[in-house]
Amino acid sequence: MTENRVLTFPPDGSVFRALLESAPDAMVIVDQQGSIVLTNSQTSKLFGYTPQELLGQSVEILMPEAVRKQHVAHRDAYMKSPRTRPMGVGMELSGRRKDGSEFPVEISLSPLETPNGVLVTSAIRDISDRKKAELKFRALLEAAPDAMVIVDQFGKIALANAQTEKLFGYTRQELLGQPVEILLPEETRRKHTAQRNVYNRAPRTRPIHSGLDLVGRRKDGSIFPAEISLSPLQTSEGTMVTSAIRDITERKQIEALRARHAAELARANRELADANQELESFTYSVSHDLRAPLRHIDGFSRILLDEYNSKLDDSGRHYLQRVADGARQMGRLVDDLLNFSRLGRQEVKRQSTDLTAIVENVRVDLAESAAGRDVEWKVASLPAAECDPSLIKIVFTNLLSNALKFTAPRPQTVIELGCSEEEDQPAFFVRDNGVGFDTKYADKLFGVFQRLHRQEDFEGTGVGLATVQRIIHKHGGRIWAKSAPNRGATFYFTLPGKSQEPRDTGTVKEGIA
Amino acid sequence: MSDSDAVEILLVEDNPADVELTLHALGQNKLANKIQVARDGEEALDFLFNRGSFRNRKSQAPPRMVLLDLKLPKVDGLAVLRAAKGDPRTRAIPIVVLTSSKEEKDMVESYSLGVNSYIQKPVDFDNFRQTVRDLGLYWLLVNVPPPQSAFSVAAGDPNNS
């Protein structure tokens, strides 16, 4: 029957040749003695021999000299029971070109029955590219910063990189073929085996940092916290699992340190909150309890002055007046101090604020204290600012009332208000032509209860500018002053943040309409 | 004149000096005739609700006004305010908080409890005297007091069901 079919081909074997030529691999047909009887053009291309040069040659001509002898024995054994052997089944071989160069090949064999006896067809494939890719893969593996371990479907270590040796203290030889559990502490091995089986049923990529924290065990038995990522790797030998293992001892230490710091911070915050609470109740009782005796001192000395006036001589009345004045002054101090401390606790609520309008309000409030005086106000249009309007009103109230206070001895008072460029940032200023101060005391200017003038010259508690400074600082701004004795004073402050252009007149008109 | 011994002002104040000064200021304005002083919150509530040592007081008419300090022994001023404004029998009594405190939380709470007026005691006695005088004149002479029917449950208490 076979003959019938063979007979249908032209007897010159042209069909067979055409088939041979169409194969993608180098095809070499060898007789039982190992002599080459036929090759295709792929063979010539791959090995550099012409067909004539190969014809009749022992097939070992295509192999490195080192394996030729051994191959003869293999070949003889094969010929005794020839069978088909597909590509890539445990046959890592090398080919040798005419020029002596060698290259990795993969070979499949199949017996071919012919009238002249059994021949052997071998298909030879150049796998240099694949080998290169493999080398690249290994190089990549070696270059990885983490220990990389490839495990086969049976949980045996198939590949490990240099980092693995370094991390675990095993040589690669010691690891290859071992169950991957060798890298785990004994008490977790059994559980891991079970987990591995679960994973193998549905392998998926699990990146590092996905909460897969484990403990690794070195060859010397010491353990360390590790972070592991897993990804399935499809190979001709089945699904393997690549795992990257990272020693996170240092990170764990940093985390512990951070947690300790956070705990310390939380404790400090609690203490601060407690201290604030205490301060709160302190100021509350100051506000309530300290004011009461002051009221009593003032009240009873006032009653004495009113109702027992005739029974007192001038000195008696004078001293009693001093008692009452002292009580009132202390009352003001307590009030100012309370306002100042309240300010420290107050939150800054920023909003776009029309400063010109605030200044106008303050001027109305202060009109009474300026009554009967010749005061010239030079108020420029101020840009809107991002600030807390109620706090900024306190700033302007203090600065303007100071300006009024320290210009009181002047026959004509000039108070100027505007915005200028100071040290590359817009600064608001309040300028007066008052008594000024000596700048060598400027550092005392903004201190609580610090005063640069005698009480009998200018009344005050020394809290106003401290309050102003606190508000400006709370806004992230700066405040400073320029002055000289009897040459007036200028106070500057900045309000960082989105500062806008002054409103154009159109907007103002609209507001009026 | 059946109410001739009725109390016009209930002064709730623990500090004897403050009591004396307040009475002095009221007296100067001829307003000190019918004043009851309560020295703590409990005594104030006993008086307002005619209980305790005030169980048998002759006239059980409510005072025309209450001057209430906030910082008090036993029951503090805010608690007195809460109790008085939370009860239909006493809700209509005008209560003026007269305190040293100008703490925002005290003011917020007093107003939310329904205080009729909130005054911070001025340190300056002249101001204090003027303030007490104004208070007395306003609440005892200018203000029209709540009618008798305002002090009963029958007056229709929306919260009393």
CATH topology of domain B9-151: Rossmann fold (3.40.50)
pLDDT of residue A449: 72
Give, rounded to a whole angstrom, the gap between the first and last alpha carbons of chain B.
36
For A20, other C-beta atoms within 10 Å of its C-beta total 19
The Cα diameter of chain A in Å comes to 159
Residue B101 has pLDDT above 60, yes or no: yes
> What pLDDT does residue B5 have?
64
- Tell if the CB–CB gap between A292 and B124 is shorter than 8 Å: no
pTM score: 0.50
Q: Measure the CA–CA gap between A311 and A320, rounded to whole angstroms.
A: 13
Tell me, yes or no, if A320 comes closer than 8 A to chain B by beta carbon: no
Q: Is A496 exposed, middle or buried (0-12, 13-18, 19+ CB in 10 A)?
A: middle
State how far the alpha carbon of A279 is from the alpha carbons of A233, A286, A287, A348, B43, in Å.
66, 10, 12, 20, 31
Q: Give the separation between CA A41 and CA A43, rounded to whole angstroms.
A: 5
Q: Is the pLDDT of residue A513 over 50?
A: no
Residue A328 and residue B102: Cβ atoms within 8 Å? no
Mean pLDDT value across chain A? 84
DSSP readout, A223-282?
A: EEEEEEEEEEEEETTEEEEEEEEEE-HHHHHHHHHHHHHHHHHHHHHHHHHHHHHHHHHH
| Residue from the list B18, B101, B125 with its beta carbon closest to the beta carbon of A287 | B101
For chain A, give the percent of residues with pLDDT over 90.
Answer: 28
Cα gap A180→A196, rounded to integer Å: 10
Interchain pair B126, A328: CB under 8 A = no
pLDDT for A94-149, tens place per residue?
A: 899 999 999 999 888 888 888 878 888 889 988 888 888 888 888 888 888 899 99
Laid out side by side, the sheet with A102-114 consists of A36-39, A26-30, A117-126, A102-114, A93-96
Helix (H) or strand (E) holding A484: none
Distance of CA B131 to the CA centre of its chain: 15
**pLDDT tens digit sequence for A71-97:** 888 888 888 887 777 665 555 688 999
Q: How confident is the model over A412-440, as a mean pLDDT?
A: 87
DSSP category for residue A498: -
pLDDT in tens, A390-410: 899 999 999 999 999 899 888
- Long-range contacts, B100-103 (Cβ 8 Å, 24+): B100/A287, B100/A288, B100/A289, B100/A291, B100/A292, B100/A295, B100/B71, B101/A284, B101/A287, B101/A288, B101/B70, B101/B71, B102/A287, B102/A338, B103/A284, B103/A287
**Chain B contact present for A331, CB below 8 A:** yes
How far out from the chain centre does Cα A73 lie?
66
The tokens describing B148, both together, are 């008798």
B129's tokens: 């005297």
pLDDT band at A1 (very low <50, low <70, confident <90, very high): very low
**Cβ–Cβ gap A331/B128 under 8 Å:** no
Res A2 pLDDT > 50: no
Query: Residue A240: is it exposed, middle or buried by C-beta count within 10 angstroms (0-12/13-18/19+)?
Result: buried
pLDDT at A212: 62
**DSSP secondary structure letter of residue A104:** E
- Percent residues over pLDDT 90 in chain B: 37
Over 50: is that where the pLDDT of A454 sits? yes
Contact A434, A399 (CB under 8 A): no
- Mean pLDDT of the region A286-302: 83
Instruction: Kindly provide the ipTM of the predicted complex, given to two decimals.
Output: 0.74
Proportion of chain A above pLDDT 70, given as a percent: 91
**pLDDT tens digits along A326-351:** 888 888 888 887 777 777 777 888 88
Domain ranges of chain B: 9-151
Find out whether B106 and B70 touch, Cβ atoms under 8 Å: yes
* Cβ–Cβ pairs < 8 A, chains A and B: 60
What is the least distance, in Å, from the CA of A326 to any CA of chain B?
11
| Alpha-carbon gap, residue B161 to B155, rounded angstroms | 13
A287 touches chain B (CB under 8 A): yes
pLDDT score recorded for residue A236: 74
- Asked if residues A433 and A416 have their Cβ atoms less than 8 Å apart, the reply is no
Helix (H, G, I), strand (E, B) or coil at A173: helix
